[in-house]
Structure 1
Amino acid sequence: MALKPSSPKPGGGGNQNRPGNSQNRPGGNTQNRPGGQQNGPGGGNRPPQGGRRPFAPRQQQTEHRINDAIRAPELRLVGDNLAEIAEATGQKVETGVYRTSQLVSWAEEMGLDLIEISPNAEPPVAKIADYNKFLYQKKKREKELKANSVKQQLKEIRFGPETGDHDFEFKLRHAKNFLSDGNKVKAYVQFRGRAIVFKDRGELLLLRFLKELEDFGAPEQLPRMDGRRMMVIIAPKKSPKK
């Protein structure tokens, strides 16, 4: 009697197509399984050890806010090149408050940068200059100041927001003498009680003080608030004019 070939049963002994077959099952042949050597994440196509994917380059950070990075809508413009700015732009330019967008436009027109040099003032103080040259001069001054710091004394000069011209000139002469002797000068405006609302007057007074002393010394930083005082520290020049 001839035997009939048995047909494959579901789940039977045949191993061609059943789920457990090593050809097709997830854990079977390394050709197709996720962990396989050919195409898997940890397989033969992965980069060699130490071959990390490079990070995207970071945007260059600057010590000061410059140009479009300045967030204040208005700035107080200062500097010894205001006449040059006026000539280049055809505008009347003097120390004062301007729209930031206007100052950025002038800086671009001259191929220079708008630099926020005193961000905590109200409004912040800025100047138009070449930023790389500005940093070079700043570091040069800091190096000179550090070299002379052991020999120097810090002399204080105090103002009030209502300081008159006579008192201003008297204290200016003292400051010139201090700087000529190689000492630093700490000038500050003291605000008492409700006088704190006159911070603008104090700032203008100190900026005027710095202007008068530019042949004798240079500020380590622009005027800033320190509690109820607005202060600035002025370092002597090497060869001040008598």
Structure 2
Amino acid sequence: MRLVGPEGEQVGIVPLERALQLASDVDLDLVEVAPMARPPVCKLMDFGKFKYESALKAREARRNQQQTVIKEMKLRPKIDPHDYETKKGHVVRFLKAGDKVKVTIMFRGREQSRPELGFRLLRRLSEEISDLGFVEASPKQDGRNMIMVLAPHRATKAAAATAGHRSREPRDAEAAGAPAATADTSTSAE
């Protein structure tokens, strides 16, 4: 077998017994790194330290991953203008937070024969929020529902990520070291 030393230097081709003897002399483990090579390649290393460092790297990679959250907003084709504005406000808030939004239009009864109403509503919503996000999945009919997915722009996501770091700071004025503001609740009857 071909043997590689602890610092990566080539020791050469040695028999298995000699490799095990070298490993025990320097108090390291003999680890087979390329079993399919001819001859197989083994390395002298501290295997416990190797496993610990690889676990640390994996944990760091998970920490740096970004979680994708999909929020859902349900609408009806005959939605009242005020209700539409309220729902649109929720969609805007979700997009500003950096989340994707799944917008669902639910059809009931005769509404199912008029899918163009839902399509127009979804198109109107996508045009009104175009500065915050874009249509990731265009509207499509799925049984009684019509579904569209909106995703935030990269700049919006980046702003949400930096705002997320700032939100961990103390919100309370006393916790931040500023004096507490007192509200004057007294009334004067003159």
TM-score using structure 1 length: 0.37
Higher relative contact order (CA 8 A, sep 6+): 2
Larger Rg: 1
